[in-house]
Amino acid sequence: MFPASMRRLARLARLGALLAATSAAMAAPRGASTGDMEGFSPSAAAVEAALEQRFDAGLSAQEQRDWMQSMSSEPNHVGSAHDKANAEFMLRKFREWGWDASIETFMVLYPTPRDLAVELVAPTHFSARLREPPVEGDATSEKTRDELPPYNVYGADGDITAELVYVNQGTLEDYKELDRQGVSVKGRIVIVRYGGGWRGLKPKLAYEHGAVGCLIFSDPRDDGYGAGDVYPKGGYRPPDGVQRGSVQDMTLYSGDPLTPGMGATPGAKRLTRAEAKTLMKIPVLPISYADAEPLLAALGGRVAPPAWRGGLALTYHLGPGPAKVRLKVLSDWNQKPIYDVIATLRGAVEPDRWIIRGNHHDAWVFGATDPLSGNVALMSEAEAIGKLAAQGWRPRRSIVYTSWDGEEPGLLGSTEWVETHAAELKAKAALYINSDTNGRGLISVEGSHGLRHFASQVARDVGDPETGVSVLARSLAAERVQSYEGGGRPADGSGDLPLGALGSGSDYTPFLQHLGINSLNLGFGGETQYGVYHSAYDSFDHFRRFGDPTFEYGVALAKVSGRLVLRAAQAELLPERAADFANSVGVFTEELHKLADGMRASSRELDQLLDDGVFGPATDPSRPRTAPQRESAVPFLEFAELDTAVEKLKQSAKAFDIEYLRLCSAADAGAALERERMNAALTSLEQTLLDARGLPGRAWYQHMIFAPGAHTGYGAKTLPGIREAIEDRRWNEANQYVGIVAHALNAYGARLDAAIAAQ
Ligand SMILES: [Zn+2]
């Protein structure tokens, strides 16, 4: 899938040239002698630094290149022969490298298309091609025999003919605007462009507004010729390139649609398809801009608002009609096996504390960038750690390397594994580190904010392959330049990486948001030409030209992720800087105050405009636009309990961080015991943020601080129970979740207090 941070990276990438010019003035990564590592005493940090030098020596760009070439040589979607072969290849490798490895198999609902058609039946006739022809210079694009045609997995079956309506990106705001323009989608097929949120929300909102079918196209403005030269000249989406993808409603739960909350083992009790809430209710297909163009050109009705117009050389009309379209989707609704590769290196001192590292291995077609670019870095790490073990080294805590299957259809492999082993993971998992796509550019890290300083120190100690400065220095420089140029928020002066909040879109979701396991997600990117997302052109030949030609960013990812794993496994104290978490929650809370205040002011203004009757006279009488609906008044919410909890948490965090630093290097007789007590508290600290009732209408999501937005899908919502209640004007629920979130923050603070209480 697609990390939400890619857009941020693309903006940052434009600053590349500037950075190169100033790089001489910037700090190079520190060498092996550095002593400052979170959770380590100075002497242990020196040992760790030496270990990391040996780890680095075990990484190979050439191997990553070879693995990617062979693993992306055939289609490797769920259920394909090559997907299974790749899992077995990794199993052999992990064992060869000394890991205790196995494949864990689950049976999941995975429909595959049998009969697809998109036809314009009026006013003229056109049959959509619905496939991706070979491209010159791309060896695998000719291997179409085993690939699935472009489709959206978990869309409904159907064969319908109806008038077409253009709905822009198909967001709630877009439907409000359509309503004011007097256009209804009831009984019609919508054509919607990618962008503006998780693709699964497009058919979902279309259905909720009465549409009977949904076509999603890639507008060339976004990742085609509007972004750069198209493949094979450049790396952007060619006219026939299609973005496949899942449309299961992951805002409710991820994983196999038939086994929510439990592992999809052979004997598991399954829902019927009719009972599964995450399956889409209407047929939906993704199409290329070559196929979309004749459909859009045949639309009449009003001209679309300026912000709705894309990059095609035609006038974008809303419809409905006269374009009439037939959409046919028939699938085989079978269960298919998925193959998770799980490899363990048992800890010598604390074997029941696990540091888990994961990336997925399944793709939509060949998947060189998504996901193999991240997966081959993970393999490099496993090999290098295996070499350390072969020399007699053992980690302090257990290390678990995982390569997930079935991520693309809906985080199936990770979710089913997490659900199957939930009790053990809640007891043992201290940290989950995820990656997915990777390529040239800047690092992006998202995750639990108590890990911010830990992740930043690792970025400080790894060099950027092209500029010679540290990965951290590049990121901080870009943040400052971007802020100066008006595109971003100012750096906070901490010298640490900006850490994004986790929404969804990759395998950390079940770990963090279902089980409350501390998580990080990371990758390099933004300086690639990646316009072939989820198409057959996401290939080895594309990656070696436009992704990471030297594979040095694959090595850099392995250096960063490997250090995160090794430090978390080796440190005397598990990573945590509580003040960073407390301050972040403070910022989120301030945002909620501003959100409610802003909505109150805006609703009052709207009331005044409606009372004064200005919408009528303001509109063009020949193309009238009706007034917006009056909104419910925004009350003053009962934030006091939350504000109090945040202040209290800040106090607890401050005391905890002081004691944490002392304990790192304390050598007195009781110190070891105190450290053990602190580690026990830290292992499951994040779980204090769960509430067993979950979020409103989606009990599977139990984390009270981070969730994917119900109306955004990929994008994170912080303090989601409160924030989404405010956004949806459910005031009682907002007040109720103030209490629930305050309770969770108090539990987190109490755990910090207990960890440092004198015995
Ligand atoms: Zn992916």
Confidence check: pLDDT of 22 > 60: no
pLDDT tens sequence across 58-72: 999 999 999 999 999
Dump strand ranges (E) for 320-414.
324-332, 335-345, 350-360, 397-404
Distance 360 CA to ligand 1 centre (A): 7
Distance 725 CA to ligand 1 centre (A): 30
Q: Which of the residue ranges 18-22, 91-95, 690-694 would you say has the lowest mean pLDDT?
A: 18-22
Kindly give, in sequence order, each residue whose CB lies less than 8 Å from that of residue 110, ignoring residues fewer than 6 positions away.
78, 79, 153, 334, 335, 336, 406, 409, 412
- Return the CATH number of the domain spanning residue range 6-109+339-575: 3.40.630.10
Distance 391 CA to ligand 1 centre (A): 34
Distance 174 CA to ligand 1 centre (A): 28
Q: What is the mean pLDDT of the chain?
A: 94
pLDDT tens sequence across 272-330: 999 999 999 999 999 999 999 999 999 999 999 999 999 999 999 999 999 999 999 99
Tokens for 44, please give them: 């242990």
Q: Which CATH architecture has domain 112-333?
A: 3-Layer(bba) Sandwich (3.50)
Cα separation, 369 vs 537, whole angstroms: 10
Tokens for 55, please give them: 């780890």
Cα separation, 388 vs 384, whole angstroms: 7
Distance 606 CA to ligand 1 centre (A): 43
Tokens for 34, please give them: 């550095």
Give the pLDDT of residue 19: 38
pLDDT tens sequence across 214-233: 999 999 999 999 999 999 99
pLDDT bin (cut points 50, 70, 90) of residue 27 is: low
pLDDT tens sequence across 501-538: 998 889 999 999 999 999 999 999 999 999 999 999 99
How far apart, in Å, are the Cα atoms of 103 and each of 86, 255, 378, 379? 11, 18, 17, 15
Distance 506 CA to ligand 1 centre (A): 6
Distance 406 CA to ligand 1 centre (A): 10
Long-range contacts of 459-462 (CB under 8 A, 24+ apart): 459/497, 459/560, 460/29, 460/30, 461/29, 461/30, 461/34, 461/49, 461/52, 461/563, 462/29, 462/556, 462/559, 462/560, 462/563
Count, in order, helices (H) and strands (E) of the chain. 24, 19
Distance 357 CA to ligand 1 centre (A): 15
Distance 199 CA to ligand 1 centre (A): 14
Distance 371 CA to ligand 1 centre (A): 4
User: What letters, b where the CB count within 10 A reaches 16 and e where it falls short, cover 189-210?
Assistant: bbbbbbbbbbbbbbbbbbbebe
Q: Which amino acid is at 724?
A: E
Distance 411 CA to ligand 1 centre (A): 9
Q: What DSSP state is assigned to residue 689?
A: G
pLDDT bin (cut points 50, 70, 90) of residue 713 is: confident
Cα separation, 686 vs 689, whole angstroms: 6
Distance 367 CA to ligand 1 centre (A): 8
Distance 471 CA to ligand 1 centre (A): 23
Q: Which of 634, 660, 590, 601 is nearest to 726 (CA)?
A: 634
pLDDT bin (cut points 50, 70, 90) of residue 561 is: very high
pLDDT bin (cut points 50, 70, 90) of residue 400 is: very high
Distance 156 CA to ligand 1 centre (A): 23
Distance 711 CA to ligand 1 centre (A): 21
Distance 408 CA to ligand 1 centre (A): 6
Distance 244 CA to ligand 1 centre (A): 12
Tokens for 399, please give them: 């290390």
Distance 566 CA to ligand 1 centre (A): 24
Confidence check: pLDDT of 5 > 90: no
Cα separation, 463 vs 29, whole angstroms: 5
Mean pLDDT for 641-665 is 97
Distance 369 CA to ligand 1 centre (A): 8
pLDDT bin (cut points 50, 70, 90) of residue 165 is: very high
Distance 469 CA to ligand 1 centre (A): 28
Residue with tokens 């769920």: 78
Indicate the burial class of 733 (C-beta count within 10 angstroms; 0-12, 13-18, 19 or more): middle
What percentage of the chain carries pLDDT values higher than 70? 95
Distance 409 CA to ligand 1 centre (A): 10
Distance 341 CA to ligand 1 centre (A): 16
Q: Which amino acid is at 687?
A: Q
Distance 509 CA to ligand 1 centre (A): 13
Distance 437 CA to ligand 1 centre (A): 6
Tokens for 379, please give them: 């393999």
Q: How many CB atoms lie within 10 A of CB 736?
A: 16
Residue with tokens 């290098």: 384
pLDDT tens sequence across 453-477: 999 999 999 999 999 999 999 999 9
Distance 715 CA to ligand 1 centre (A): 16
Mean pLDDT for 334-343 is 97
Give the pLDDT of residue 712: 78
User: Do residues 447 and 520 make contact, with C-beta atoms less than 8 angstroms apart?
Assistant: yes
Domain boundaries, the chain: 6-109+339-575, 112-333, 579-756
Distance 356 CA to ligand 1 centre (A): 18
Distance 534 CA to ligand 1 centre (A): 9
| Residue-by-residue DSSP string for 169-195 | T--HHHHHHHHHTT---TTSEEEEES-
Distance 435 CA to ligand 1 centre (A): 8
Indicate the burial class of 311 (C-beta count within 10 angstroms; 0-12, 13-18, 19 or more): middle
Distance 119 CA to ligand 1 centre (A): 31
Kindly give, in sequence order, each residue whose CB lies less than 8 Å from that of residue 706, ignoring residues fewer than 6 positions away.
501, 502, 503, 512, 513, 716, 717, 718, 720
Give the pLDDT of residue 24: 34
How far apart, in Å, are the Cα atoms of 754 and each of 375, 478, 618, 658, 665? 39, 40, 62, 14, 20
Distance 410 CA to ligand 1 centre (A): 10
Give the pLDDT of residue 512: 97
Distance 460 CA to ligand 1 centre (A): 26
Distance 2 CA to ligand 1 centre (A): 6
Cα separation, 585 vs 179, whole angstroms: 37
Distance 87 CA to ligand 1 centre (A): 16
Cα separation, 376 vs 380, whole angstroms: 6
Distance 414 CA to ligand 1 centre (A): 12
Mean pLDDT for 164-184 is 97
Confidence check: pLDDT of 4 > 80: no
pTM of the model: 0.95
How far apart, in Å, are the Cα atoms of 342 and each of 259, 416, 436, 558? 21, 13, 17, 18
Give the pLDDT of residue 759: 57
Distance 55 CA to ligand 1 centre (A): 26
Give the pLDDT of residue 14: 43
Cα separation, 174 vs 306, whole angstroms: 13
Confidence check: pLDDT of 488 > 90: no
Distance 337 CA to ligand 1 centre (A): 19
Distance 704 CA to ligand 1 centre (A): 25
Distance 458 CA to ligand 1 centre (A): 24
Distance 363 CA to ligand 1 centre (A): 7
pLDDT tens sequence across 31-87: 444 569 999 999 999 999 999 999 999 999 999 999 999 999 999 999 999 999 999
Fold of 579-756: Transcription Elongation Factor S-II; Chain A (1.20.930)
Cα separation, 496 vs 27, whole angstroms: 14
